[in-house]
Structure 1
Amino acid sequence: MTTSSPTALALDGAAIDGGLYTDVTDFARHTHWLNGTAEAYSSVGMGVFVVLLLAAWWGARRRGNSVMAAVLSTPFAVVIAYAVNSGIKDVFQEPRPCRALPHDFLIEACPPVDDYAFPSNHTTVAFAFAVALLIVSRRLGSIALLAAVAMGASRVYVGAHYPHDVAVGAFVGSAVSLVVVLLAFRFCTPLVQRLRGGALRPLLAAQPS
Structure 2
Amino acid sequence: MAAAATAQPALDGSGIDGSLFTSVTDFARDTKWLNTPMEVWTNLGLGVFAILMIAGWWTARRRGPRAMTVALAAPVAVLAAFAAAEVVKKLVAEVRPCRSMPHAYFVDTCPAPSDYAFPSGHATVAAATVAALFLLDRRLSAVAAVFAVLEGFSRVYVGAHYPHDVLGSAAVALPVALLVSSALSRWATPLVGSLSHGRLRPLLAAELVATTAPARQAASAGDPL
TM-score by length of 2: 0.88
Instruction: Read off the aligned partner of 1:79 and give its amino acid letter.
Output: L
Maintained 8 Å contact 2:9/2:94: no
Are 1:53 and 2:68 an aligned pair?
A: no
Aligned residue for 1:164? 164
- The number of equivalent residue pairs is 208
In the alignment, the residues of structure 2 paired with residue 4 and residue 58 of structure 1 have an alpha-carbon distance, to the nearest angstrom, of 52
Map residues 108-123 of structure 1 onto 2, 5 A cutoff: 108-123=108-123
Post-superposition CA distance 1:86-126 (Å, at most 9, x none):
11111111110000000100001010111100110000011
Instruction: Read off the aligned partner of 1:111 and give its amino acid letter.
Output: P
Please give the secondary structure, in 2, of the residue aligned with 1:66. Answer: helix
Aligned residue for 1:189? 189
Farther-moved stretch of structure 1 (114-123 vs 4-13): 4-13
Map residues 14-29 of structure 1 onto 2, 5 A cutoff: 14-29=14-29
TM-score by length of 1: 0.95
In the alignment, the residues of structure 2 paired with residue 153 and residue 34 of structure 1 have an alpha-carbon distance, to the nearest angstrom, of 13
Aligned residue for 2:176? 176
Post-superposition CA distance 1:52-90 (Å, at most 9, x none):
111111100000211111110111111111111111111
Residue 207 of structure 1 and its aligned partner are, at CA, apart by 2.7
- Structure 1 runs, 4 residues or longer, greater than 3 Å off: 6-9
Please give the secondary structure, in 1, of the residue aligned with 2:124. Answer: helix
Instruction: Read off the aligned partner of 2:193 and give its amino acid letter.
Output: Q
Residue 179 of structure 1 and its aligned partner are, at CA, apart by 0.4
In the alignment, the residues of structure 1 paired with residue 6 and residue 148 of structure 2 have an alpha-carbon distance, to the nearest angstrom, of 32
In the alignment, the residues of structure 2 paired with residue 95 and residue 8 of structure 1 have an alpha-carbon distance, to the nearest angstrom, of 9
Instruction: Read off the aligned partner of 1:189 and give its amino acid letter.
Output: T
Identity over the aligned pairs, expressed in percent? 49
Map residues 1-209 of structure 1 onto 2, 5 A cutoff: 5-8=5-8, 10-208=10-208
In the alignment, the residues of structure 1 paired with residue 69 and residue 208 of structure 2 have an alpha-carbon distance, to the nearest angstrom, of 20
Instruction: Read off the aligned partner of 1:138 and give its amino acid letter.
Output: R
In the alignment, the residues of structure 2 paired with residue 151 and residue 50 of structure 1 have an alpha-carbon distance, to the nearest angstrom, of 14
Question: CA, structure 1 residues 3+37, in 2 after alignment: closer, same or farther (shift >3 Å)?
Answer: closer
Structure 1 unmatched ranges of 5 or more: none
Aligned Cα RMSD in Å? 1.5
Maintained 8 Å contact 2:14/2:101: yes
In the alignment, the residues of structure 2 paired with residue 124 and residue 92 of structure 1 have an alpha-carbon distance, to the nearest angstrom, of 16
Residue 8 of structure 1 and its aligned partner are, at CA, apart by 4.0
Maintained 8 Å contact 2:64/2:205: no
